[in-house]
Amino acid sequence: MKYFIEVWGCAMNEHDAETLGGLIEQKGFTKADNYLDAQLIVLHTCCIRAKAEDKVIGRIGALSKIKKKKPEMIIAVGGCMTQQEEVAKYIEKRFKEVDIIYGTHNLNEFDDMLNIVLADKTQVRSISKSEGMDIKEYVPMKRNDDLKAYVNIIYGCNNYCSYCIVPYVRGREKSREVKYIVEEVKDLLSKGFKEITLLGQNVNSYGHDFKDGTDFSMLLKELDGLGDFRLRFMSSHPRDFDFELIDTINNTKNVCHQIHLPLQSGSDKIIKEMNRGYTKEHYLALTEYIYKVMPDATISTDIIVGFPGETEEDFQDTLDVVENVGYDQAYMFMYSIREGTRAAKMDNQVPEEIKKERFHRLLELQNKKSLERNKEMLGKTYEVLVEGFGEKGRLTARTRGNKVINFVGNISLKGNLVKVKVKDYNTWSLYGELIGD
């Protein structure tokens, strides 16, 4: 029997799907190349914005139709969206074709749920209201890549940014013990992985729940000693990302000088309303220091436009930070009301047309900045990790700053570090020439 997993949302979800894949393969399933060949289809969902949820509902509708002609098909829907009790109930009632509904905290029970469906053909639902997932070590995993791997270091989020639903569906912060993280990274390196990305909603609060002085800097130093590889992490929180951590990154040999530092807004008033706990000045001081000690650093961000109460003046503050920092990349979103969050109850919601108009202005500025950042790379040589084939038969590779460079070369270079000189660029891509390894 074959299975197919469709994933929405963040890196954390992509990595959860690797755990699901591991559990499913233990039951004797193999991965299908496309959903039409699969007997088991899993939709691993996201609820961060309304659009993500609407897409999933559409997808369940389409699969339910297919199932009418293919009754042996098993449909599972789970993750952040169904962790919300009312959404799970809605899906259960409206789509009888859905066999398994699981919450974020019930990921590790997926194989038991699958057993029930395979034996009894009944609909099962498991959504626990617990404060978070019980961390389980040594769960089997079906990794999507053989060069780059995600490693969870902290689950959940305690921040309650006023627009965000994550703390309600992913529970409270729970760090993974250092020894298990070290063991997993060692194991990955011994299997030939070349790049590790540490994952958490806010990696900067890693270890704080142990209350024994463990922190993220200590973890980075510990992992840095495990070999020669590329070490990345996401996401950071500007409130907790401090100057000392920047020095730590600079003093390690493996941690890449690539920082994802979500700004969300450049206006002090909006940052406060968002419950983010920093100021525009502090944010700019951090990015200035990053570039000062690591001139080769790349910085990316997340920005929300149209948060309740955002005026043109507030928005100008956001544009000002974007202009000042010169992000390599920005993930930009229009504010989306999420029921249950504090911002959803605010009565000064920004009209959709204004959100759209601001979004386009921001996008235009960021595109200009991305182009400028790429232009700065022209004529320079970078060490890149070759990932495989990219567009138009070229090889695709990444710099330590996570910038993608495409170049002509032999596929046998996959997994190698080689030197490439940048010859051309546009807003989204860089093109280079192999100059040796």
Enumerate binding residues for ligand SF4 (CB under 6 A): 157, 159-161, 164, 166-167, 201-202, 237
Give the contacts of 213 (CB within 8 A, at least 6 positions apart).
Answer: 207
For 35, the 3-state DSSP assignment is: helix
Site for ligand 5AD in 286-305 (CB under 6 A): 302, 304
Give 415's DSSP letter. Answer: T
Pairing of strands 298-305, 329-334: parallel
Q: Which residue of 164, 169, 196, 246 would you call a contact of ligand 5AD, by CB under 6 A?
A: 164
The minimum distance between CB 418 and ligand SF4, in angstroms, equals: 36
Binding mask 331-350 for ligand 5AD (x = CB under 6 A): --x-xx-x------------
Task: HSE, CB side, 13 Å, CA atoms: give it for residue 119.
Answer: 8
Q: Using CB distances below 5 to 8 A depending on partner kind, what does residue 219 bind out of ligand 5AD, ligand SF4, none?
A: none
Among residues 217 and 264, whose Cβ is nearest to ligand SF4? 264
Give the contacts of 380 (CB within 8 A, at least 6 positions apart).
Answer: 421, 422
Q: Using CB distances below 5 to 8 A depending on partner kind, what does residue 402 bind out of ligand SF4, ligand 5AD, none?
A: none
Backbone angles phi, psi at 399, to 5 degrees: -80, 175
Using CB under 6 A as the binding rule, whether residue 242 contacts ligand 5AD is answered as: no
Among residues 209 and 302, whose Cβ is nearest to ligand 5AD? 302
∠ CA 35-19-169, nearest 5°, is 95
Among residues 71 and 351, whose Cβ is nearest to ligand 5AD? 351
Backbone angles phi, psi at 75, to 5 degrees: -110, 130
Among residues 73 and 80, whose Cβ is nearest to ligand SF4? 80
Among residues 216 and 335, whose Cβ is nearest to ligand 5AD? 335
The minimum distance between CB 155 and ligand SF4, in angstroms, equals: 11
Give the contacts of 370 (CB within 8 A, at least 6 positions apart).
Answer: 327, 328, 329, 427, 428
Using CB under 6 A as the binding rule, whether residue 15 contacts ligand 5AD is answered as: no
For 79, the 3-state DSSP assignment is: strand
* Site residues (vs ligand 5AD, CB under 6 A): 48-49, 163-164, 262, 264, 302, 304, 333, 335-336, 338
